[in-house]
Amino acid sequence: GHWHFGGAKQENHLAAFPLELPKRAIEMFTFIGETVLDPFLGSGTTSLAAMLLNRNSIGYEINEDFLPVIKEKLEGNQPSLFRKNIQYQKQPPLNIDWKTEVENLPYVFSDPVKFDKKTDPRKLNFGSKIRAEDRKNGTAREAYFTVKEIMGANLIRLNNGAIVRLLGIKPLPQKETAAIKFLELKIGKGQIYLRFDSQKHDSQNRLLAYVYMKNRTFINAHMVKHGFAEVDDEYPFKNQKKFEKLVREASSNERTN
């Protein structure tokens, strides 16, 4: 059958899982007094489960940053007369020439396709927590940036160096100077965040994004609404019909005025 139990908050570890998961596995495959090996100790959940089920456990973790988390989980915050025997050992540095070791292997895989990442995930993580530092720094679902340079009526450079093209809009040449001034006044030194569609890069590997101010002002839409741009259909995007409606409204307002 299937196991059903609640998840675990990723507060102290990026890949936390509920205690019930290792408990059930340990109960199924081990007996009391046996030893459970956890080669990826993480936050110590598996070792805690083994302890609660009267099993021994050995865990291995290469990231020293998780040691306080492991200690807190295994030792708890309350003193106990029946404290388990827990030992922490640090492995000394290994003097191994890994390059030589790899060359001595009977088979060495070499990928003929060289991957050229378009975006450094340490600069833009698209809303995901991919490093322990993201947890330490309190990285929220929205990553905020400031604009270092307005490069054009639909092109900005962020404080981390990434170049972003405003998705779905094509500047009107006759209004480009006014459009750039509008962006400078609208964005200024304020914080922005990005939202992405299915197409994340253009033909020049620049990010394609919807740009929002921290107060949720939709910059792409405002560019169209104020008549500084028309709809750019070079790449499909989900807000196309909305932008087309804004263009019609902007044209109607211009004729009225």
- 240 pLDDT more than 90: yes
Q: Where in the chain is the domain with CATH 3.40.50.150?
A: 1-93
Which CATH fold would you assign to the domain 1-93?
Rossmann fold (3.40.50)
Domain 132-256 belongs to what architecture?
Answer: Beta Barrel (2.40)
End-to-end CA distance of the chain: 69
Degrees to nearest 5, angle at CA 190 with 140 and 193: 35
How does pLDDT run across 177-226, given as a tens digit for each residue? 999 999 999 998 899 999 999 999 999 999 999 999 999 999 999 999 99
What pLDDT is attached to residue 75? 85
Torsion of CA 174, 175, 180, 186, to 10 degrees: -170
pTM summary value: 0.52
- 165 pLDDT more than 80: yes
How does pLDDT run across 31-77, given as a tens digit for each residue? 999 999 999 998 899 999 999 999 999 999 999 988 998 998 888 74
What pLDDT is attached to residue 139? 47
More confident residue, 250 or 133: 250
How does pLDDT run across 8-39, given as a tens digit for each residue? 555 555 556 788 999 999 999 999 999 999 99
How does pLDDT run across 84-143, given as a tens digit for each residue? 788 999 999 889 998 999 999 999 888 887 766 666 655 665 555 545 555 555 445 568
What pLDDT is attached to residue 65? 87
Q: Where in the chain is the domain with CATH 2.40.50.90?
A: 132-256
- 78 pLDDT more than 50: no
Structure tokens at 59: 């865990």
Is 17:8 a contact under the CB 8 Å cutoff?
A: yes
Percentage of the chain beyond pLDDT 90 is: 59
CA distance 142 to 221: 19
Can you tell me which residue has the tokens 């001595």?
104
- 81 pLDDT more than 80: no
What pLDDT is attached to residue 235? 92
Is 179:223 a contact under the CB 8 Å cutoff?
A: yes
